[in-house]
Amino acid sequence: MKNLTKTLALLSFIICCSCGGGGGGVGESPAVDPHTDPLNGPPAGNPAGHYPVPAEAVTEDVSSPDRLVGNGTPGSCTAAAFIQAVAQGGKIKFNCGLNPYTITLDHPAKVFNDKPDVVIDGEGLITLSGGGATRILYMNTCDPNQVWTTNHCQDQAQPRLTVQNLTFIDGNSRNESEYDGGGAIWVRGGRFKVVNSRFFNNVCADLGPDAGGAAIRVFSQYQGLPVYVVNSTFGGAAGYGNTGANGGGISSIGVSWAIYNSLFSHNRAIGSGGNPAQPGTPGGGSGGAIYNDGNTMTLALYGTLIENNQVNMHGSAIFFITNDHTGTLHIEDSVIRQNSGGYWYELPGISMHSDTNRQIINSTIQ
């Protein structure tokens, strides 16, 4: 356990410590084409991040799966088989042979809300692709088409969705109108967790004051509990980054996050005009890696590296805006550096209100 009596450094420029656990650089050139050989791309997680992960944030036990996608051959691991497995819920694994395999979808897999637990485990071999044409995974407790199970859909405990040991590539939600953002994954309600996973070249709407989350978009988690992201990579090298109007990596409204030992790099927020959109602009362009908007919420980073992300407007690394100026930004054993573009910075790479609580511990921000 970390010593909770560490002094909190509330500084506005560079916070450095030689023993920061979030250090370590990332290569500038991709070793392989992420579209044709994603399994050999940047690994999952920040290699220099070693912060202890709480028990509720670790991988789920799938030693006794409820369903297998495939019967042992690559050809049996079809998009239809995967989509059906997600609809049925439970613990899902893949039986596609011994080699890495990519399943390309032509429409999203959707979680049904009467399934209490959905765990999808790729065992480090499976890539889920949107083929540059579709979102990959969708869960929405307030969507009656997915079974409306309560009269308080925005605050219900289930489903609990976990994705682990997977790679998500080429998700594309640009054609989604009602539920925009979330190029790879879109979630509302219940609980959501990401462990040991990678997100390469996912995209969402290019423009808009609030559209975002090229990789992941989340709303309304049960009782305000955080989304856990553990040992995962968003981008990771040149040619692998995710791109959207806001939140090149992740985006949310009124949601807390606890991010452990993860890497965000080479993601971009390419909108223009901010939120609300400046006159004569389409809006957007904030949160190169992370875009958080809402009221009382917490963004907590532990052992995480955020570097080489870009924006047009605000928050080249992090855009953290609580409308009522409450909430907390907590950064511990992490490194934020060399993010570019935009203006209105409270800390290097971080756009937030000056009176919103921040806790910076043993970290580098420059």
279 backbone dihedrals φ, ψ, rounded to 5°: -50, 135
Structure confidence by residue, pLDDT tens digits, 116-166: 999 999 999 999 999 999 999 999 999 999 999 999 999 999 999 999 999
Structure confidence by residue, pLDDT tens digits, 251-305: 999 999 999 999 999 999 999 999 999 999 999 999 999 999 998 899 999 999 9
Structure confidence by residue, pLDDT tens digits, 219-262: 999 999 999 999 999 999 999 999 999 999 999 999 999 999 99
Close Cβ partners of 275 (under 8 Å, ≥ 6 residues apart): 209, 210, 246, 283, 284, 286, 293
Say if residues 220 and 250 touch (Cβ distance below 8 Å): no
Q: What residues does each domain of the chain span?
A: 38-365
Give the pLDDT of residue 17.
Answer: 34
Give the pLDDT of residue 177.
Answer: 84
Q: What order of strands is seen across the sheet that includes strand 310-311?
A: 243-244, 268-269, 310-311
Say if residues 52 and 262 touch (Cβ distance below 8 Å): no
95 CB burial (10 A radius; 0-12, 13-18, 19+): middle
144 backbone dihedrals φ, ψ, rounded to 5°: -60, -20
Chain position carrying tokens 């044709």: 36
pTM for this one?
Answer: 0.91
Nearest-angstrom CA–CA distance, 75 and 69: 11
According to DSSP, residue 82 is labeled: H
Identify any residues that bridge with 203 across adjacent strands, giving them in sequence order.
172, 243
